[in-house]
Structure 1
Amino acid sequence: MSIPFDIPARFMAGLSSGELQRFGGIIKDAGSGQIVGHLQETGVLQSVLRSGLSFDPTGVTGLIGVAQNAAISHKLNAMQAMMGTLQTLQIATLASSVVGIGVTAASTAIILQRLRGIDQRLERIEGTLAELPRQWQDMELRKKLLTMSTSLERLQEAEYRPDAESVARAEEERLNYVFGDLHGGLCNVVIEAKIDPALLQCLLAGLSLSADAQFKALLWLDMKEAAGKRAVNQFAKLRELGFRMPRHSMAERLAGDGAQAMQISSDFSEIRMRAASQPQLARTLIAQGINGREFIDQIQNEDTQPILILPYA
């Protein structure tokens, strides 16, 4: 079916003036609170980011590379000009694995690349710490990243198998357990007197990737109601985690680094808003009779527009 996507051009004026506001993957009317549409990055944006930029996949240092050639630079400049109207949503934000909008359009190859980056950074961090806190050892974070990578690889190959749906269901379930383990570990870690900021950022990146992969897998299975319910449950857990890591206390626990605490707080807020906006996307897909797999295929295969908007039904 043809999915009735809009490009953001007609929303630019409202976003620039503040009449429209972004909340995670949703655009709302600032006055009435009415949902206007659902933001969605596409495959073309992810492709340009992957081919033209070098970035820290944990989001700790943000965007650290530059465009490699004039053609990519031109595309990025055009995208930045357009996305600058989306307030805090910038190229560097979308390049980070910690945040994003809508259903991730990143290919499994890109996500696996980010997971490898997290694992490599974690290995370096562990090597610099004289004594790794017991909580981190108990979580076996790198083992969980390997589990996540294996599940994503199996999800990638699922559509080529006769038992595609059973494979997708099994790996989605495994990713849910990874999310639960990471969430439980984070709840214990963030109340410690001293926290290594880079390790915390690695955990948040893993939590975000596992959450996104689950939602995407359930949409791929066209289990839209289940996807919405899963996002509701994830948001409840993220809210619980948020109560344990208020910004003022995090600054003290992160060796008094207020700037680092603010960045982590900002990233985590974006993760929560993203989860909070996903149930409404699932409801809109149901209301418009849009097949979840077709929705994912269209945004991933888009090769012209970096951002699309699904109008609210």
Structure 2
Amino acid sequence: MSIPFEIPARFLTGFHSGEFVRFGSILKDVSTGQIVGHVQETGLLQKALQTGFSLDPTGATSLIGIAQNAAISSKLNAMQTMMGTIQTLQLATLASSVVGIGVTAASAAMILSRLNEIDNTLDGIESSIATLPSKWREMALRKKLVNIRTAIDRMQEAELRPDAESIFKSGEEKLNYAFDELHDGIRSIVIEAEVDAGLLRNLLASLALCGSAQIKSLIWLDMKEAADHRARQQCSKLQELAFHMPRDLMAQRLVGGEKQAISISQDCSEIRLRAAAQPDLARALIAKNIHGREFIERVQAEESSPLLILPRS
């Protein structure tokens, strides 16, 4: 079927004038509060970001890497011009995100790459913290990352196999357990008297990637009602984390104080906004009778525009 995507040129005028604002992956009309569309970065943007940027989930060397060559730099600059200068849609913002904007945008390869980057930083974190929280050892994050990577890796090859749906269903179940375990671990660690910022960022990045991959799996399976329900559950858990992580208290607990507390608070807010946008996307796909798998494949196959918008009826 033909999915009624739009290239977001006409929405940029609204951004410049302040008529529209982005919350997670949804665009809202400021005056009415109504949703006008769902933003999805495409396969073109993901390919450029994966080739041209690196991510440091610990924040130690800044989240934004440097374009590796002139060709990639030129492509990114051209995309930036196309997208306008609105801060909330700048390429740097997308590159610094652990998952990007849209639920479908991060390909399996991108998610696996970012999970590997998280794993690669753990040695340094573990060796630099004199006394790791006891919960850290109980969590066995390395093992969880392996399980998450294995599930996503199998999903990546699933479309080449006759048992694709069973692989996605099995993987989605594993991601659900992993999300809950990561959530429980973060909730226990943030109440410690002293919290390492790099450790917390790794956990939050893992949680965000796991949650996004799970919702994407349900949409791929065309279980849109289940995606709506699960996304609401994720939002509830993220709100619970926010209750345990007030910025004033985190400024006292985090090594690095107020500066780290502000940065992590902003990251958490963006993760919550993106999760909060997912139920409405699922409902929009239901209302437009769009098959979830077709939606994902269409977004990932786009190679002429870095962003597409699914207008809201």
TM-score, normalising length from structure 2? 0.95
Paired residue type of 2:156: Q
Q: Which residue of 2 aligns with 1:260?
A: 260
Residue 257 of structure 1, CA deviation: 2.2
Q: Which residue of 1 aligns with 2:277?
A: 277
SS of the equivalent of 1:4 reads coil
| Aligned equivalents of 2:102, 2:271: Cα separation in 1 | 11
Q: Which residue of 2 aligns with 1:185?
A: 185
Q: Which residue of 2 aligns with 1:209?
A: 209
| Aligned equivalents of 1:104, 1:122: Cα separation in 2 | 27
Q: Which residue of 2 aligns with 1:53?
A: 53
The count of residues paired between Structure 1 and Structure 2 equals 313
Q: Which residue of 1 aligns with 2:153?
A: 153
Q: Is the 8 A contact 2:133 2:192 kept in 1?
A: no
Q: Which residue of 2 aligns with 1:69?
A: 69
SS of the equivalent of 1:13 reads helix
Paired residue type of 2:105: A
Q: Which residue of 2 aligns with 1:3?
A: 3
Distance 1:63 1:84, change over 3 A: farther
| Aligned equivalents of 2:15, 2:270: Cα separation in 1 | 18
Residue 2 of structure 1, CA deviation: 1.5
Q: Is the 8 A contact 1:80 1:90 kept in 2?
A: yes
Percentage of pairs with the same residue: 62
Q: Is the 8 A contact 1:58 1:97 kept in 2?
A: no
Q: Is the 8 A contact 1:99 1:270 kept in 2?
A: no
Q: Which residue of 1 aligns with 2:32?
A: 32
Distance 1:36 1:61, change over 3 A: farther
| Aligned equivalents of 2:71, 2:256: Cα separation in 1 | 43
Unmatched segments (≥5 aa) in structure 2 = none
Q: Which residue of 2 aligns with 1:108?
A: 108
Are 2:97 and 1:93 equivalent residues in the alignment?
A: no
Residue 307 of structure 1, CA deviation: 0.7
Residue 232 of structure 1, CA deviation: 0.4
SS of the equivalent of 2:88 reads coil
CA deviation map 1:122-162 (0-9, x unaligned): 12110122222211111111111111000001111222222
Are 2:142 and 1:142 equivalent residues in the alignment?
A: yes
Distance 1:151 1:184, change over 3 A: same
CA deviation map 1:198-218 (0-9, x unaligned): 000000000000000001000
Residue 87 of structure 1, CA deviation: 3.4
Distance 1:296 1:62, change over 3 A: farther
Are 2:261 and 1:297 equivalent residues in the alignment?
A: no
| Aligned equivalents of 2:117, 2:16: Cα separation in 1 | 35
| Aligned equivalents of 2:88, 2:158: Cα separation in 1 | 36
Paired residue type of 2:164: A
Residue 80 of structure 1, CA deviation: 2.5
Residue 248 of structure 1, CA deviation: 1.3
CA deviation map 1:35-60 (0-9, x unaligned): 10000011111100111223324555
| Aligned equivalents of 1:130, 1:256: Cα separation in 2 | 16
